[in-house]
């Protein structure tokens, strides 16, 4: 169930159910079930920016999975720990955790999970400013995901490739791949991921010289994040503040506030439609 709660944006609801389950030790029938519950809960906590809780749950889950000899579970716990470290800017700490997770997944031969690890390492390379490595890892991630027919992973790959393109100044490519990402996520009902895409499309609009559109999309994403209780990660804040600042400076105070308020009033579906509107 944790993945449903993640995709649908019901992060708080999912954490509530899993925390209740974990607190009632009599209802958790096996170490396997407890480990799965811990690692699922850890990812939802990560998405809500509760990094201390995410780390604690992932570490406890990792210990249980190690005792069970469950490599796939260990890899999942290491993924949460690696993503927490990456989001806190501890890149040197994140890399070995992510690489260990990938190694375990290669041992298991699980292509879907191997692809997930490639995505994580691609995100890490992006944050480190190694855009060539990031692009290579993410293209491999996309290739595997498409071969497996995994539309969720494909959408994630398109989104991150769009961010790489923006970092490289290729706005045309960024719009194209982000459109692919957001179109897929809309069809999948993936609320959490769609918000990320709307924010990235705001950056595209800003780069295209359309600050009013950027302000609308930023306002929409901010409200949707607040509703979902899914704050920006620390590593995302500098880029976000830069885009908000650039947009604000390009407009009068009144125009900026009006556009932001218009965006804040949009539903998720309306925000997606606005982001996908032709330039």
Q: Are 220 and 264 in contact (CB under 8 A)?
A: yes
66 with 157, same domain: the answer is no
Is the model's pLDDT at 28 over the cut of 60? no
The pLDDT of residue 26: 61
Last residue of a domain, one of 137, 165, 189: 189
User: What is the band of 25 on the pLDDT scale with cuts at 50, 70, 90?
Assistant: low
42 with 127, same domain: the answer is no
Last residue of a domain, one of 162, 189, 216: 189
Is the model's pLDDT at 17 over the cut of 70? yes
Nearest to 219 by CA among 245, 198, 190: 198
d(CA 75, CA 50): 20
209 with 277, same domain: the answer is yes
2 with 103, same domain: the answer is yes
Q: What is the pLDDT of residues 196-247, one digit of tens each?
A: 999 999 999 999 999 999 999 999 999 999 998 889 989 889 999 999 999 9
57 with 12, same domain: the answer is yes
Q: What is the CATH number of the domain that holds 125?
A: 1.25.40.10
50 with 94, same domain: the answer is yes
142 with 161, same domain: the answer is yes
1 with 60, same domain: the answer is yes
Q: How far is CA 42 from CA 33, 78, 94, 115, 215, in A?
A: 14, 11, 16, 20, 33
Mean pLDDT of the chain, nearest integer: 94
What is the number of other CB atoms lying within 10 angstroms of the CB of residue 30? Answer: 10
Is the model's pLDDT at 278 over the cut of 90? no
100 with 148, same domain: the answer is no
Average pLDDT on 169-185 reads 97
180 with 262, same domain: the answer is no
Domain ranges, residue 67: 1-109
130 with 233, same domain: the answer is no
Percent of the chain with pLDDT over 70: 98
Q: How many domains does the chain have?
A: 3
d(CA 148, CA 118): 15
Q: What is the pLDDT of residues 129-174, one digit of tens each?
A: 999 999 999 999 999 999 999 999 999 999 999 999 999 999 999 9
Say what the alpha-carbon torsion angle 241, 246, 249, 251 is, to the nearest 10 degrees: -110
d(CA 74, CA 239): 32
238 with 162, same domain: the answer is no
Number of H helices, E strands in the chain: 15, 0
The pLDDT of residue 23: 87
Last residue of a domain, one of 71, 88, 109: 109
């Amino acid at each position: 169930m944790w993945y449903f709660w993640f995709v649908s944006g019901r992060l708080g609801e999912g954490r509530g159910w899993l925390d209740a389950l974990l607190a009632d030790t009599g209802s958790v029938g096996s170490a396997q079930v407890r480990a799965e519950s811990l690692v699922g809960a850890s990812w939802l906590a990560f998405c809500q920016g509760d990094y201390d809780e995410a780390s604690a749950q992932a570490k406890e889950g990792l210990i249980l999975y190690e005792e069970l000899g469950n490599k796939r579970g260990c890899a999942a716990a290491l993924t949460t720990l690696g993503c927490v470290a990456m989001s806190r800017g501890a890149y040197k700490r994140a890399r070995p955790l992510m690489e260990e997770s990938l190694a375990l997944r290669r041992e298991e031969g699980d292509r879907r999970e191997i692809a997930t690890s490639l995505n994580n390492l691609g995100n890490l390379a992006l944050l480190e400013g190694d855009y060539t490595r990031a692009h290579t890892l993410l293209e491999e991630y996309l290739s595997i995901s498409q071969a497996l027919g995994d539309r969720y992973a494909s959408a994630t790959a398109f989104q991150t490739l769009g961010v790489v393109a923006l970092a490289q100044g290729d706005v045309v490519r960024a719009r194209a791949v982000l459109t692919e990402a957001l179109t897929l996520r809309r069809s999948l009902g993936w609320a959490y991921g769609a918000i990320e895409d709307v924010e990235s499309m705001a950056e595209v609009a800003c780069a295209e010289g359309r600050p009013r559109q950027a302000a609308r999309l930023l306002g929409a994403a901010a409200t949707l994040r607040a509703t979902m209780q899914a704050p920006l990660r620390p590593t995302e804040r500098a880029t976000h503040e830069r885009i908000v600042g650039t947009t604000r400076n390009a407009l009068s105070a009144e125009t900026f506030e009006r556009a932001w308020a218009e965006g804040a009033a949009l539903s998720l579906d309306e925000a997606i439609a606005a982001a996908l509107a032709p330039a």
